[in-house]
Amino acid sequence: MASGLVEKVSAFCRSPSRFLFGTSSEVFLAELLRELRDDRANYTVKVLLLSPLCEYPALLCPSDSVGEETALELMSIFTQSPPKFVQFRSQLLVALTCVLTCSSDVSGRLRAFPDFLDLLLQLAQDTSDLHGDAAPRSLRATACDCLREMEALYPGLLSQRLELLGGLRHQETSRLHQAYAGLQALVLRNAVYQLTQEKEAGAARLRALLGGNESVECEADQNAGPASGKDSAPLSSVILGPMGTVPTLHTGPDCKELRSALSSLLEESYLFTPLSQAALLYRLTEVVAMVPAIPPTIFRAQLLRLLGTSEVTLLHTTLLMKSAFTDSLFSSEDEAFLFKRLVVLSQHPLLSTPEKLFYMDCILHFPENRPISCGDSDEALPVLLTPRLASALLPVVFNDSATLLSRFNLLSLVYLEAGEEEDGRGLEYLYEHLTSLLRIVESGGRRENVVTFFRAAFLFLFHFHHVERYCDNLSQQLCQLYLQHTRFAPHLINLADRTQEKLPDSSWALGLLKALQRVISETPISQTTLPDLRWHLKVLTRAAEEGEISQHGTLRFLSGIIPPSSSSLSSSGDWRLGNGILGVCRRLLVHPSLESMFIPLADILQHVAGHYGDTDIRDHARLYYTLLTTLSREKLATVLAHHAEGGQQVKKRTLSCLMTEGEGLTSILTIHETEVAIIRLIEADCEQLEAEDLVQDEAERGEPVLETYRAQFSSAAFASQVTLKFLLTHTETRDARFDQLFSIRLHFSLTDDHYSELQDLSVPCLFRERPPPVVTLTLKPREPYPSSLHVSAIFTTQDGLTWHTTLPDIRVCFQQIFLPLPAPPSWGRAGRQAVFAGLWEEMSSETGECASSLFCCQLEEKALSALVEKHFLPFLVSDPSHKDEFRALLFLPPQSHVLLKISSEEDAVHFRLATDNWELLPHINDYLLKITAS
């Protein structure tokens, strides 16, 4: 049992969606809880079983009620678990925190929340664990962590407990004082933040919070505070916003209590682990930033220690202090020192690469005391970064690619700033460096080297595209590289695309494409291999997109490869190669200088149409030839325009983009994915099943009714289906493209194996303005349990595109599977009652799968009648006018029954239940709870 469950848990955590495809979350949750309750189970295993609840609480407890129940269950497990299993109990607290916070929706907190909070506070104060066992980490520390997490989620939750927390930290001498300090610092920061948001909050309120002298006003607050469901969102960092947006609390100079709380935390900060220390310092930085009466120099004593540290996170905190306080904490010497330190760290031989890259990023975003660059540009060079200082960060070929690129970028910025365009040594170095990367690529570098080189080339162009002598040289070098390694064609095209996109004013990309076209057309065909040729055609296609590039070279090249006499390439009839040729031709057909190319292009097309080895290519070449020779320029342009917009798209596509790897063809052949749900299924208000008017009964039956009744089931199709009706409608998202949908095919997939596979359904059309069509879904249960179905749809829009979309899941509720007793139609009430009596007797014996149960609740007589009327009328077997005992029979296909005897007893209404499928009991219980509660 347990080992199977452990495997299930790991399968669940690997992919919850795939796991829940095979079962439902309720079943899995029930299984987990059952095992957790089991006293005999191994506690090490139990710790593992808690992980789904910690990681995916919202998935396992999708509603408040489930969350509530699960939380209560876990709390009772906690109270019952022996104290010696500290690890289990700690993990249980973590799981509880997750369940209680994540399963409720934003609006309210669960009822178990205050109880749990009390439990945590109680545990946090319980120092008795010191003397007992040898637990590595006490429950107390975990309780503090849970409290901190809850405070982070609901800021202000514990602000009335500041005094208590401060006291606990003060008394604690074991390692645990760190846990208290972390909690105290966060609560303090949140409390101060909340005061900044209140009008007229000042020194007195602050003092009251810190426990100076509690005022009556605060007492009142306390009652209204944490327990009330008022939720505040988690706070973002207060010092992260733009300068001058830090909320402030005006206290006047008198805030002794706060100052002493801060100093005592700071004094002990040395005793914390670097991670906790950094977090603490950051929180305190936030507090001091919000309270102008406390001078930032309170941090001064810690600074030297922090500046010398080897811990990335502690130095980072120092930088963040610098950013928050600038010159009120850091003099200009300090600033220069800190900056130099960053440069040192970003190339220190003992630090890891990610750390060095991080420091490099810090250099680019260094918070200067007097920033010169105004505005919020992404990366600005600090004035302190002189070329001389930056020379420590020169890229070398031995750097890993990430380091190399970020150094290259940094140095480019430095030289650009220094105005190195003309004969600067630095720029020369960068270019030489780029060339040596190119040499490595040339002599067969690995893929990573290739990618790095092209990125460095892009960076160089991006910063220095105006320095012609280098850029022209780079073009030449790239052409040579291409001739040696034609497989770099996609990289070169990508480089051209990107430079064109990012530097619209530069003509470098154009120059490169022109040069590539030239070197290709000058290559002797006899020396060209088939793979080379394919890449050449790709490059030429790209060059043909540029109206400013003369295409005569391309035409020469094409005519060179066409005649079969000159090479065996085109006569081979390679389909892909043929497409490559046609791709170039297609671009040429829309080239602005088509007039001047008319005859050679026609010759090429004609030749391909007549002699190419592949029929498909010949056909399409003929089509192009016809288009070229019969249509006017304008028409040709319209027909072949590849960015077709609007209505007549479909026609254009069929005419033009048949074989090239054009955008149109792919777009029409592809199924597009909608970004959000466009349509959904909502439950139709199905007409209430009517209680049939029964034939007023025939005489006593001779034959045994139960057997007759059962005999019907020998036919497999008998009463095996449930029919649900839905309306297919648009969702709230308005998108004009989807106002009219056609040929909608709905596909349903099961999330568990309780039902047989469902057929796809077709709906001819869905218009936003017309009434929604009704979709009838026929379910064939294997097991009569509630479930949900994934729904997706494929449809066509007016512009001819095909879309795939996912609809919100639909739920099959338990009560939707109820059917009335499928008795033969000729039977009257007496026969049904006889079946009921027979079944009741059988089930009460509780043999096999049978079970009986009792459900009680408080209901007025009238309310009971109304309830029966509303929910059970179609299923009543007894006469509805018999008010002292109602008998209802719920039939659940394929072959389950739930029998109910409902009667008012003196203390309560009793629902006596009997069923031949005991696994239905929890569901029926939920159902009864629901209907009797409303």
Partner 1 sequence: MSLRALWIISHEKGEHASIRFSRRFATVELRAKRLSGSSYVAVPEDDCFLQLLLTELGLSGSKQAFVAQRDDCLYRPRSPALELHITAPVKGTLWPVLAISQAHLTLACLPLVDASPGQRPPLSSLLSESQGLSFLAGLQTFLLAPGSKQDGEGLVSRLALLPSVLLQVCPLGTPLELPLTGTLAMPSPITSAGIQKQPAWRTGLYRGRAVVNVSVVETVRSMQYGNRSRQDLWDVYGTVACKCEVEGVLPNVTVTLSLPPNGSPLQDILVHPCVTSLDSSVLTASSVEHWDGSAFSGPYKFPFSPPLEPFILCSYTSQVPVPPILGSYQLKEEESQLHVSVVLKLHESVKNSFEYCDAHLPFYNRDQMGVVEVKVSSGQLDVSKEKNLLVWALGQKFPKTREVTMEGKILFSGPEPGPSEPLCTGLTAYIKLYFKVPDTTLSGCSVDQHSVQVYSSAKPRIVTSRELHSKDYWIWNSTDV
| Residue choice 57, 583, 784, 831 for contact with partner 1 (CB under 8 A) | 57
Rounded to the nearest whole angstrom, what is the least distance from the CB of residue 489 to partner 1 in the complex? 9
Shortest distance, CB of residue 389 to partner 1, whole angstroms?
A: 6
The answer to the question of residue 870 lying near partner 1 (CB under 8 A) is no
56 is a contact residue toward partner 1 (CB under 8 A): yes
- H or E stretch at 160: none
Helix 489-502 crosses helix 508-522 at what angle (to 10 degrees)? 150
Residues 383-422 that bind partner 1 (CB under 8 A): 389, 392, 397-398, 402, 405-406, 409
Q: Does position 680 bind partner 1 by CB under 8 A?
A: no
Q: Is 148 in the site for partner 1 (CB under 8 A)?
A: yes
Shortest distance (Å) from residue 918 CB to partner 1: 33
314 binds partner 1 (CB under 8 A): yes
Q: What residues numbered 586-625 form the site for partner 1, per CB under 8 A? A: none
Query: Does residue 454 belong to the site contacting partner 1 (CB under 8 A)?
Result: yes
- Binding test (CB under 8 A) with partner 1, winner from 161, 205, 465, 491: 491
| Token code pair at residue 126 | 């319980």
Select from 458-466, 638-646, 817-825, 884-892 the region that touches partner 1 (CB under 8 A). Answer: 458-466
In angstroms, the CA 322 to CA 633 distance is 65
Question: By the 8 A CB rule, do 785 and 918 touch?
Answer: no
Scan residues 3-32 and list those touching partner 1 (CB under 8 A).
13-17
β-pairing, 740-750 with 787-797? Answer: antiparallel
Minimal distance, residue 416 CB to partner 1, in Å: 15
Residues 722-781 contacting partner 1, CB under 8 A: none
Q: Is 70 in the site for partner 1 (CB under 8 A)?
A: no
Query: How far is it, in rounded angstroms, from Cα 238 to Cα 248?
Result: 10
Identify which of residues 366 and 836 has a Cβ nearer to partner 1 in the complex: 366
Task: Single out the residue of 125, 399, 449, 756 in contact with partner 1 (rule: CB under 8 A).
Answer: 449
The span from the CA of 552 to the CA of 392, in Å, is 50
- What's the rounded Cα separation, in Å, for the pair 263 and 299? 9
Q: Closer to partner 1 by CB, 297 or 845: give it.
A: 297
Interacting span for partner 1 (CB under 8 A) from 448-456, 471-479, 825-833, 868-876: 448-456
Tell me the C-alpha distance between 101 and 770, whole Å.
43
In total, the chain counts a number of residues equal to 934
- Quick check: 343 and 351 in contact, CB under 8 A? no
**Of the two residues 71 and 898, which places its CB atom closer to partner 1 in the complex?**
71
Q: Is 451 in the site for partner 1 (CB under 8 A)?
A: yes
Candidates 166-174, 583-591, 626-634, 694-702: pick the segment binding partner 1 (CB under 8 A).
166-174
Rule CB under 8 A: is residue 135 a binding residue for partner 1?
Answer: yes
Which segments of 348-445 are extended strands (E)?
Answer: none
Instruction: Give the interface size with partner 1 as a residue count (CB under 8 A).
Output: 136
168 belongs to the binding site for partner 1 (CB under 8 A): no
Q: Which of residues 510-549 bind partner 1 (CB under 8 A)?
A: none
Cβ 171 to partner 1 shortest distance, Å: 10
Longest dimension (CA), the chain: 116
* DSSP one-letter string for 336-359: HHHHHHHHHHTT-TTS-HHHHHHH
Instruction: Check: CB of residue 746 under 8 Å from CB of residue 793.
Output: yes
Closer of 489 and 621 to partner 1 (Cβ): 489
Q: How far is the CB of 551 from partner 1 (least distance, A)?
A: 25
Q: Is 910 in the site for partner 1 (CB under 8 A)?
A: no
Report the nearest approach of partner 1 to the CB of residue 799 (Å).
21
671 touches partner 1 by CB under 8 A: no
Stretch that binds partner 1, among 177-185, 559-567, 743-751, 865-873 (CB under 8 A): 177-185
Strand, coil or helix: 672: strand
Three-state SS for 796?
Answer: strand
Give dist(CA 717, CA 32) in Å, integer.
36
CA distance 326 to 335: 9
CB of 29 to partner 1, least distance (A): 15
Q: In sequence order, what DSSP letters do the residues of 181-235 get, joined into one string? A: HHHHHHHHHHHHHHHHHSTT--HHHHHHHHTSS--HHHHHHHHHSTTS----PPP
In contact, 156 and 162? CB cutoff 8 Å: no
User: Is residue 877 within 8 Å of residue 887, measured between CB atoms?
Assistant: yes
User: Could you tell me which stretch among 117-125, 236-244, 472-480, 741-749 binds partner 1 (CB under 8 A)?
Assistant: 236-244
The reply to whether 76 sits near partner 1 by the rule CB under 8 A is no
**Is residue 503 a contact residue for partner 1 (CB under 8 A)?**
no
To partner 1, the closest distance from the beta carbon of 186 in angstroms equals 10
Integer Cα distance of 466 and 421 in angstroms: 8
Nearest to 238, CA basis, from 204, 184, 188: 188
The three-point CA angle 334-336-337 to 5° equals 60
Under DSSP, the state recorded for 374 is -
Residue closer to partner 1, measured from CB, 45 or 623 = 45
Q: With binding defined as CB under 8 A, does residue 676 bind partner 1? A: yes
Q: Which is nearer to partner 1, 33 or 385 (CB)?
A: 385
Sheet holding 679-683, edge to edge: 679-683, 722-730, 774-779
Cβ–Cβ < 8 Å for 365, 410: no
The footprint of partner 1 on residues 93-122 (CB under 8 A) is: 94, 97-98, 101-102, 106
* 361 Cβ neighbours under 8 A, 6+ residues apart: 406
Q: Nearer Cβ to partner 1, position 677 or 691?
A: 677
Task: Please answer whether residues 805 and 793 qualify as being in contact, where contact means their C-beta atoms are separated by less than 8 angstroms.
Answer: yes
Task: For residue 853, give the 3-state DSSP assignment.
Answer: strand
Out of 498, 622, 642, 930, which residue is the one contacting partner 1 (CB under 8 A)? 498
672: contact with partner 1 by CB under 8 A? no
Task: Kindly indicate which of the ranges 56-64, 421-429, 614-622, 825-833 contains the residues binding partner 1, using the contact rule CB under 8 A.
Answer: 56-64
Minimum CB distance to partner 1, residue 272 (Å): 5
Q: Which stretch, 273-281, 631-639, 658-666, 765-773, contacts partner 1 (CB under 8 A)?
A: 273-281
* Cα 332 from Cα 329, distance rounded (Å): 10
Query: Cβ atoms within 10 A of the Cβ of 575, count?
Result: 15
Which of 457, 459, 468, 377 has the alpha carbon at shortest distance from 415?
459
User: Residues 22, 490, 610, 848: which binds partner 1 (CB under 8 A)?
Assistant: 490
Residue 529 CB, shortest distance to partner 1, in Å, is: 16
Q: Do residues 115 and 96 make contact, with C-beta atoms less than 8 angstroms apart?
A: no
How far CA 802 is from CA of 163, 671, 785, in Å, comes to 64, 5, 36
**Site for partner 1, residues 324 to 383, rule: CB under 8 A:** 337, 340-341, 343-345, 348-350, 352-355, 357-358, 361-362, 364-365, 378
Pick from 458, 575, 718, 742 the residue near partner 1 by CB under 8 A. 458
In this complex, which beta carbon is closest to partner 1, that of residue 673 or of residue 685? 673
Rounded Cα–Cα distance for residues 781 and 789 (Å): 13
Q: Which stretch binds partner 1 (CB under 8 A): 25-33, 433-441, 747-755, 792-800?
A: 433-441
Q: How far is the CB of 672 from partner 1 (least distance, A)?
A: 12
CA distance 740 to 276: 57
Minimum CB–partner distance for residue 142 and partner 1 (Å): 6
Element (DSSP H or E) covering residue 619: helix 615-630
Contact segment (CB under 8 A) with partner 1 among 88-96, 109-117, 596-604, 818-826 equals 88-96
Between residue 808 and residue 867, which ones bind partner 1 under the rule CB under 8 A? none
